[in-house]
Structure 1
């Protein structure tokens, strides 16, 4: 009986259950800021997926007569609504096309670091003390170097490319997921439902991936959303320093770097890609705050339209 009372309070939202997606959608509509952030991020993802195919030629076509054209120059066409760069290329088209590389680097680094870090964290939290100490010392070695400084040193040695940038940024973020996962596993493995699974003869792999990982996953997803914004800012910083993505490839950070010499005469060259970075980062932070509440069974009632007394009554009756 005690075990049946403990399980509901620790069970995360399972998106595979019927109606779970609709349930999350309803909770999203109750947070207007998170809803606007989600819509904006969907637009950014669509730009990253289809932008190069639709506007790739326009983003590279030079027109020296229209160099540094100011914003809202509609006489040149709707693509010049944000102005043009020093070679007369429309900024709107370039921002849309640059979204692909920016999102690719951030998504690749986050997925890689979360996969490796979570796997090592599960092993460190569930395995014996010796294995745990070895893995944690590895995390300490990585954390002993400032992440951005480590990326700068490595990218000065290796040729700048999307692959190298993803690998470098991913390695610097592995300890975040490793330490978080290990701390969660150390607490979850002592819960009653895990002990019951051991008594019933479940294998270690089944216990880790069937019972422990689903409880840890919401925390990892929330951290990954925040980390996505951090990695995107790190990529923009490296591109701004000139050791990130190199022309003819473009990212938002590289566009800001290219617009820096024209800040006094053509501020829009750096302003619009910088605004894209700010809005995307802000949207990720707002969405991550919503996810932290939506995936937490103890706080989910705030988005489901129920009162705190109703939530307490359901818990006591359950």
Structure 2
């Protein structure tokens, strides 16, 4: 009877799952839950609240928040056209998240690929790629985006393209630095001796070692790109009405800051909370993906009690 209750050696030393590691960091857990809520808003918000977010009601212009007699959609107040701020925040989440996601994805793929090539190719090819990164980095990213968007139509696709281009050097330089160190390890040398091609070594042996670092950077970069999009929308060269983003909502509420602070406060709060959650989740990812730091979560009391 006692033997059936005693855990086996494999069960005793088996590493905890991702959920247990996440639960061990309470701040990361709260951040992950909030980000899931934001993703749900981005997916379902427009289909559920698109009509309500664009419905004009001049009787409710600049309605103050927490006026419960006007319905739950007006709990955060209304904008200068009487449209419920809560509905507009839910709808704007899709454009804000879509722009940030595809900009980070494109920058990660292009920058990561170029970094792999620059780190494992001949010096001439590496120098050409790095000079390309230097050219992009010589311009302030926000200034470059402003110049390009003034020349192009400020559409969603152009906004993604501009933001992705400005972030490519981050992934390129990081990936190249990682590859230069990994290429000297024994398993890479063994693959060379066994006759593996350059492409096989690069994408099947080195890339999996670089991905954890790129994933951590992408989480942080997602927050940066979202702030950059909000800045461009605030300047009036981002997404244009009738489309809406959180940054555009902040810009539209700027003329009414003195008498209707809530027009800019609530979308600005969503930007701050989302950025903070991404930073907390990025710190957790960096700890989990680093074998030298992962013990901090694996050995915590919270993990042991789950």
- TM-score, structure 2 as length reference: 0.92
Partner of residue 110, structure 2? 116
The answer to whether the aligner puts 1:255 opposite 2:249 as a matched pair is yes
SS of the aligned residue for 2:243 comes to: coil
The answer to whether the aligner puts 1:170 opposite 2:164 as a matched pair is yes
Q: What are the superposed Cα offsets for residues 31-88 of structure 1, whole Å, 9 maximum, x if unpaired?
A: 0000000000000001001100011111011111011111011111110110000111
The answer to whether the aligner puts 1:96 opposite 2:90 as a matched pair is yes
Which one of the candidate residues 44, 54, 58 is aligned to 1:60? 54
The answer to whether the aligner puts 1:43 opposite 2:50 as a matched pair is no
Whole-angstrom CA distance in 1 between matches of 2:79 and 2:68: 15
- The number of residues matched between the two structures is 288
Partner of residue 241, structure 1? 235
Partner of residue 134, structure 1? 128
User: How far did residue 208 of structure 1 move?
Assistant: 1.2
SS of the aligned residue for 2:298 comes to: coil
User: How far did residue 306 of structure 1 move?
Assistant: 6.3
Which one of the candidate residues 254, 266, 270 is aligned to 1:272? 266
User: How far did residue 305 of structure 1 move?
Assistant: 1.6
SS of the aligned residue for 1:233 comes to: helix
Which one of the candidate residues 208, 211, 216 is aligned to 1:217? 211
User: How far did residue 25 of structure 1 move?
Assistant: 1.1
The answer to whether the aligner puts 1:300 opposite 2:294 as a matched pair is yes
Partner of residue 75, structure 2? 81
User: How far did residue 134 of structure 1 move?
Assistant: 0.5
Whole-angstrom CA distance in 1 between matches of 2:100 and 2:131: 26
User: How far did residue 226 of structure 1 move?
Assistant: 0.4
- TM-score, structure 1 as length reference: 0.89
Partner of residue 143, structure 1? 137
RMSD of aligned residue pairs (Cα, Å): 1.3
User: How far did residue 203 of structure 1 move?
Assistant: 1.8
User: How far did residue 206 of structure 1 move?
Assistant: 1.7
The answer to whether the 8 A contact 2:62-2:81 is kept is yes
The answer to whether the aligner puts 1:186 opposite 2:183 as a matched pair is no
Which runs of 4 or more aligned residues in structure 1 lie more than 2 Å from their structure 2 counterparts after TM superposition? none
Partner of residue 310, structure 1? none
Q: What are the superposed Cα offsets for residues 172-219 of structure 1, whole Å, 9 maximum, x if unpaired?
A: 000000000000000000001111111122222221122111110010
SS of the aligned residue for 1:237 comes to: helix
The answer to whether the 8 A contact 2:24-2:300 is kept is no
Q: What are the superposed Cα offsets for residues 257-299 of structure 1, whole Å, 9 maximum, x if unpaired?
A: 0000111100000000000000000000000000000011111
SS of the aligned residue for 1:303 comes to: helix
